[in-house]
Structure 1
Amino acid sequence: MLMQRASTGLFWFLSIVIAALAFVVVTLATAIGFDQAAPHLVHYLDSEKLPLYAHIVFAPLALLLAPFQFWAGLRNGHRRIHRAIGYAYAVSIAIAAIGSLLMLPRFQGSTWATTGFALLAVIWVATTARAFLLARARRIAAHRAWMMRSAALTFAAVVLRLMMLPLMATGMPMLKTYDITAWASWLLPLLVVEWLLRRPGRMVQQPV
């Protein structure tokens, strides 16, 4: 129980902090210029400015909203708010994922990294859509399982940054780190969620 509370608290903390930092970067980039606040994104401004903003605004929003979907007090006591946040979360993911896919032709990383990010965007939308449809069908246990998968993919934004910093500290260029993080950032949290769902005494008791 203690470990579960600690992991839940860490999920809340990292999601909110990374989302807040992302919003700060977006605000600074808009105010003082991407060349000063986010130079690695400058090359998208010529032809992919709208997809860029779609991704850097709505991906952090999805990350910020994700923990609230697992707040039992909100879910059980304020279902309308829970559903409203769920809609906002799903729409944010759709917009952010489409934005990222439209940005990929200008992505300067390797084909391997590009493929990893493309798969992340597609699976991110697919898992979230599955969770949404299950909620509409009142299959609540299965809905929660797929929401966990969706949240794991949303949390890739956190894992990517936590992995990128030590990799860059070793001298690895940012673009090179994507060869690792474009896959590991979402495969690792997704594997953790699958283990949680399938272990004995798992949280979800119905077929997923």
Structure 2
Amino acid sequence: MKTVKKLLWWLGFFWILILSGGTFFQYYDLQHKSEFLQIKQQAVKTGWYLPAFYFHIIASSVLLIVGFFQFSKKVYNNRSLHKLLGKVYVISVLFISAPGAYVMTLFINRGSWVSLSFFVQNTLWVVFTTAAWLYIKKGDVNSHVKMMRRSYTLAFAAVTLRLYIFLFTVFGDGVGFENNYIIIAFASWIPNLLLVEVINIKKEQNIFAA
């Protein structure tokens, strides 16, 4: 079981590095020449989309890495480091990445269901992150940890979204075929959240059984 957990840990970290590193190398020069931005020219012309886009992707890359290590026992046991990284994560989510995502949602051109999926996901992300912060301010560590699991799994949806896009493109008909993007949009975060709820229940049972 420990071997499986380590394998999943490294696999998750690998995909986070791929996403964060790819984001940096693709957008570091701020030249707006990427394929994605080329198809978003109408949104770019509004003047709202680009700032929101860069705020979102840069902050998301940072918080994905920071949040990932918050679940490491070594970091968790280093209270000052854990607290510092927690502040970086919360600020990145609530004041940079999530607001940017809300603006980007206004310019989604893949239908109302896809827009709804990202809007609900982003709103839950804000709610869970805010709740996690409020719980730790009250000293309720158990509730804080559960909320942080929920928050981070919605952040990790950025990874699963791109993984599904890759799989649909390589092994299927691509993301533009009929309702594929609707499926991907919801599948990128709902299964993640359900899995975390199972983990939270298991952890709660272990606490009461101890």
Give the TM-score taking structure 1 as reference length: 0.87
Distance in 2 of aligned mates of 1:44 and 1:23: 22
1:86 aligns with 2:86: yes
Alignment partners' CA distance in 2, 1:53 and 1:39: 15
Change in Cα spacing, 1:85 to 1:5, as seen in structure 2 (3 Å) is same
User: Aligned equivalents of 1:97 and 1:114: distance in 2?
Assistant: 14
State the AA in 1 paired with 2:38: P
Q: How does 1:48-127 map to 2 (within 5 A)?
A: 48=48, 49-77=50-78, 79-94=79-94, 95-127=96-128
Contact 1:45 1:52 in 2 (8 A): no
* Structure 1 residues 16 and 42: CA distance shift in structure 2, 3 A: same
- TM-superposed CA distance for 1:174, in Å, is 4.5
Indicate which of 191, 197, 200 corresponds to 2:200: 197
**Distance between the aligned counterparts of 2:167 and 2:12, measured in 1?**
20
Unaligned residue ranges in structure 1 (runs of 5+): none
In the TM superposition, residue 160 of structure 1 has moved relative to its aligned partner by: 0.4
Moved more, 158-167 or 52-61: 52-61
Aligned equivalents of 2:13, 2:195: Cα separation in 1: 17
- 2:157 and 2:189 in contact (8 A); partners too: yes
In the other structure, the counterpart of 1:26 is: 27
Give the aligned partner of residue 168 of structure 1.
Answer: 169
**What SS does the aligned partner of 1:106 have?**
coil
State whether residues 152 and 193 of structure 1, in contact with CA within 8 Å, keep that contact through their aligned partners in structure 2. Answer: yes
1:188 corresponds to 2:204: no
* 1:131 positional shift: 0.9
Higher relative contact order (CA 8 A, sep 6+): 1
Deviation of the 1:43 alpha carbon: 3.6
Inter-CA distance 203–89: structure 2 relative to 1 (3 Å threshold): farther
The answer to whether the Cα contact below 8 Å between 2:161 and 2:185 also exists between their aligned partners in 1 is yes
Asked whether the 8 Å contact 2:125–2:151 carries over to 1, the reply is yes
**Shift in Å, 1:100:** 1.2
Per the normalisation by structure 2, the TM-score is 0.86
Root mean square deviation of aligned Cα: 2.2
Between the aligned partners of 1:131 and 1:121, the Cα distance in structure 2 is: 15
Q: For 2:25 and 2:15, locate their aligned partners in 1 and report how far apart those are by CA, in whole Å.
A: 15
Question: Deviation of residue 14 (structure 1)?
Answer: 1.9
| Percent of matched pairs sharing the same residue | 24
The residue type equivalent to 1:58 in the other structure is A
Q: Deviations over 1:61-104 (max 9, x none)?
A: 21121111112112212x22211111111111122111111122
Q: CA deviation at 1:12?
A: 2.3
| 1:37 Cα deviation after fit | 6.8
Aligned residue pairs, count: 202
